[in-house]
Amino acid sequence: MSRFEVVRTGASASDSIPVTQKNVSHRKEPPNPSAAALQRQFSSAIKRVEVIWGETVIYVDAASVKQIIRWLHDDQSQRYDFLSDVTAVEYRDAEVPIEVVWHLRSLPFRRFLRIKAQLPKGTSLEIDSVYDIYRSADWLERECYDMFGIRFNGHPDLRRLLMWESYKEGYPLRKDFPLRGRFSRSEQLRQALAQNPEARYSMEELTIADAFAELPEDMRQRLNKGERTGE
């Protein structure tokens, strides 16, 4: 009848029932046991460990992020198998580097960990993708690229996700991006009206490119002139 066995996670697998955290102190909670294990395993790549409101934050070297996350995912004593979120934080202070943040969960051990890598401003914002470890990183990394312009090396399809491909105003969640957008309202309106709606249908998707030569002569001419259909 059933196809697979039920995977028991923390609460149902162990005897101890987790309880709601109460009276969490600002910076005095004990760190997650994975922090010490990480410091043993990757001594130099772990820059700093902080505990804020009971959540362990690990600042790691940007170059070895992927290696560290892969170890956390694969190692039998850690088993961080669930990637909750990939995002970035830019601070109001222009001197502070941009941080890329991964929120990891270990379902078997019921642990939560926040990994941070700092990317100094003024450099090319690039970091390794964790797409081959977690497939959930696909859209999360694309959104992060879309909103912050951080390039995830190794992501197979790093395109804009929420904004459109021809969006020219930059990366909306950066602090130098004004709340109303970079362009004036009239310029935004002008661009919107000048948009070719067909441009959102990429040639690759619709495979018109292959069949272009076979289209009727008048249609080819109209497409060449950039005419929109339905007019």
Partner 1 sequence: MSRRTIEVELSTSGLDAQGRPQRVPLVTNDGGTAVAVEPPPGVEPDLEGEHMLINLGPQHPATHGVLRLVLELDGETVVRCIPHIGYLHCGFEKIGEYRQYNQIICWTDREDYLNSIGNNVAFALGAERLFGIEITERCKVLRVIASELSRIMSHLVWLGTFCIDIGAFTPFLWAFQRREEIYRLIEKWVGARLTTSATRVGGMAADIPSGWMDGLRQFNRTFPHTLDEIDRVLTRNAIWVGRTVGLGVMTPDEAINWGLSGPMLRASGVDYDVRKDFPYLDYETYDFEVPVGTNGDVYDRYLVRFEELRQSVRILQQAADRLPDGPVNIDDPRIILPPKSKATSEMESMIHHFKVVMEGPRPPIGESYVAVESPKGEKGYYMVSDGTAKPVRWRIRPPSFVNLAAIPKMVEGHLLSDVIAINASIDIVMGEIDR
Length of the chain: 231
Judged by CB, which is closer to partner 1: 63, or 219?
Answer: 219
- For residue 82, the 8-state DSSP code is E
Verify binding: residue 17, partner 1, rule CB under 8 A.
Answer: yes
Site string for partner 1, 147-176 (x = CB under 8 A): x-------------xxxx-------xx---
Judged by CB, which is closer to partner 1: 166, or 221?
Answer: 166
Verify binding: residue 23, partner 1, rule CB under 8 A.
Answer: yes
Site for partner 1, residues 38 to 57, rule: CB under 8 A: 52-53, 55, 57
- Do β-strands 55-60 and 46-52 pair in parallel, antiparallel, or remain unpaired? antiparallel
Burial (0-12, 13-18, 19+ Cβ within 10 Å), 41? middle
Verify binding: residue 223, partner 1, rule CB under 8 A.
Answer: no
Q: Which of 15, 28, 40, 92 binds partner 1 (CB under 8 A)?
A: 92
Site for partner 1, residues 61 to 80, rule: CB under 8 A: none
Is 65:133 a contact under the CB 8 Å cutoff?
no
Cα–Cα dist 114/106, whole Å: 12
Stretch that binds partner 1, among 4-12, 39-47, 191-199, 218-226 (CB under 8 A): 4-12
Cα–Cα dist 78/66, whole Å: 15
